[in-house]
Amino acid sequence: MADIDVSSNRKILTSDVLDAISTQVRVIHALILRETKTRYGQHKLGFLWAVLEPIIMVALFVAIFAGMRNDNPGGMPLVPFMLIGIVPFALFRDVMNQLQGAIATNKTLFAFPQVTTFDVILARGLLEILITLGVFGFLLAMAHLAGFTINVQRPLEVLAGCGLMSMLGLGLGFMFASITPILPSLRQLTSAFLGRPLFLSSGLFFTADSIPSEIRQYLLYNPIMHILELIRGAFFYEFETAHGSWHYAIAWSVGALAAGLVTHQALRKKAIVGL
């Protein structure tokens, strides 16, 4: 008798787990479609803006830096150099920013029992990553058509770097998404004290080699700086990084993701009540 009980229990368990997984996949799929509609559905220019924004940024910073110096940073041509700083960085910053408000803006959805805060945050993160990668590919194709040499040395490493950048964004995003409903002032703090300083100090506009070593040793605590160096080293034939470390970058990305998921797990109930 006991044996039969155990086996029937196990059967229920397996099908329950499969059920839960298929529900979760369904929900995340539905959320991504819905999020795409809400973001790009009403404004026809929505998707155009996603492409235009990085183009304007690249143009702006190319203009500024071309005026300031006449050599190419680390031997890399200036336009692709800027492009391959600004767009990968967006993987981190935009994912983080988008996730921060994920729980608050979707609160009516939690009336549906199968929709969890985890699903809502992850769906939004995946959509942002997909859009940014799509924009990245599109801009590279545009740059190629415009006559720039786009010849990727180690494409898989470029993708790996983008993956690490996304993980950093997801990790901090999960963390801030869970804390912000409880502590709303965090929203201003992250953009003023995290987004902007990192934008300026992560090497979007310079290589690690180009700055004095006394300053560089501090800047190299920043994992984003490592990842950008690694991505550029993998992308350009003209450039190999002497400072970017895969180990350091992976440790940070995995650590950030783990910390974000743990924070979310600990606070998710409070976060819903805090709305």
Task: Tell me the CA distances in angstroms from 218 to 61, 172, 174, 225, 247, one per residue in order.
Answer: 24, 21, 27, 11, 17
Whole-number Å distance between alpha carbons of 177 and 186: 10
Amino acid in position 151: N
- Residue (36 or 222) nearer to other proteins, CB: 36
The dihedral region occupied by 134, where left means phi > 0, alpha psi between -120 and 50, and beta the remainder, is: alpha
Rule CB under 8 A: is residue 102 a binding residue for other proteins? Answer: no
Rounded-to-integer distance, Cα 186 and Cα 167, Å: 21
Segment lying near other proteins (by CB under 8 A), choices 69-77, 86-94, 104-112, 242-250: 104-112
CA quadruple 182, 186, 191, 196: dihedral sign:
negative
Measured CA to CA, the distance from residue 3 to residue 211 in angstroms comes to 70
Q: Which is nearer to other proteins, 123 or 257 (CB)?
A: 123
Contact status: 108 vs other proteins (CB under 8 A)? yes
Cβ nearer to other proteins, comparing 22 with 149: 22
Kindly report the number of other CB atoms within 10 A of residue 135's CB atom.
Answer: 19
143-to-49, 59, 78, 79, 147 alpha-carbon distances in Å? 17, 12, 12, 8, 6
Contact characters 115-134, other proteins, x per CB under 8 A: x-------------------
The token duo for 119 is 């699903």
If binding is defined by CB under 8 A, does position 45 make contact with other proteins?
no
Between 220 and 271, whose beta carbon lies closer to other proteins?
271
Rounded Cα distance between 168 and 89, Å, is 10
Strands (E), the chain: none
Does position 44 interact with other proteins (CB under 8 A)? The reply is: no
Q: Where are the alpha helices (DSSP H) in 41-111?
A: 46-68, 78-100, 102-105
Nearer to other proteins, 30 or 250 (CB): 30
Among 11, 144, 196, 269, binds other proteins (CB under 8 A): 269
Q: Which of 47, 110, 138, 148 is the binder for other proteins (CB under 8 A)?
A: 110
Nearer to other proteins, 28 or 162 (CB): 28
- Shortest Cβ distance from residue 133 to other proteins (Å)? 24
113 binds other proteins (CB under 8 A): yes
Closest to other proteins by CB, 27 vs 57, is 27
Site residues (CB under 8 A) for other proteins, limited to 4-43: 22-23, 26-27, 29-30, 33-34, 37-38, 41-42
Q: Segment contacting other proteins (CB under 8 A): 84-92, 107-115, 233-241, 244-252?
A: 107-115
144 binds other proteins (CB under 8 A): no
Q: Which residues bind other proteins (CB under 8 A)?
A: 22-23, 26-27, 29-30, 33-34, 37-38, 41-42, 108-115, 269, 272-273
